[in-house]
Amino acid sequence: MKNFERSVVEQEPEYDEILENLWSRYGFDGNPPRLHSEAERRLKEKCERYATYIINAKKNKGSSSDAMRRQLHNEIAIMTVGKQRSGMDLEDANHISNFALSYTHGLTLDDIDSGKFDDML
């Protein structure tokens, strides 16, 4: 019995805690990608690229590629809620944006738009 208890305690968590909390906060169905999975890596990479476009647009007053931003936003939407961005209302689309920014930078669109974090960006 001791060996079984030790193996249960030493098991790695099934999901990244931050990702799991954000998944719940934004009301996404199901579970996030499993910890250290290829799906988790792809999601984080898309969120990082998307956040970079958003932050660069803020710094450069909107000079980032809108086509690339839309493509990344759409890919993140499919990975998180299972549907294309084009069919979403504005609130759901903002959830996707806020999720990506929160996951990678701990900020939301409102935080970035407020300007109070400009020195961090």
Question: Can you say whether residue 32 is alpha, beta or left, with left for phi > 0 and alpha for psi between -120 and 50 degrees?
Answer: beta
Domain ranges of the chain: 37-121
CB 93 within 8 A of CB 104: no
pLDDT tens digit sequence for 64-86: 568 888 999 999 999 999 999 88
Most distant CA pair in the chain, distance: 62
Give the side-chain half-sphere CA count within 13 A for 119. 1
Query: Has this prediction a pTM greater than 0.85?
Result: no
Q: Render pLDDT for 3-31 as a digit per residue (tens, 0 to 9).
A: 555 555 567 789 999 999 999 999 999 99
Least confident of 33-37, 48-52, 117-121: 117-121
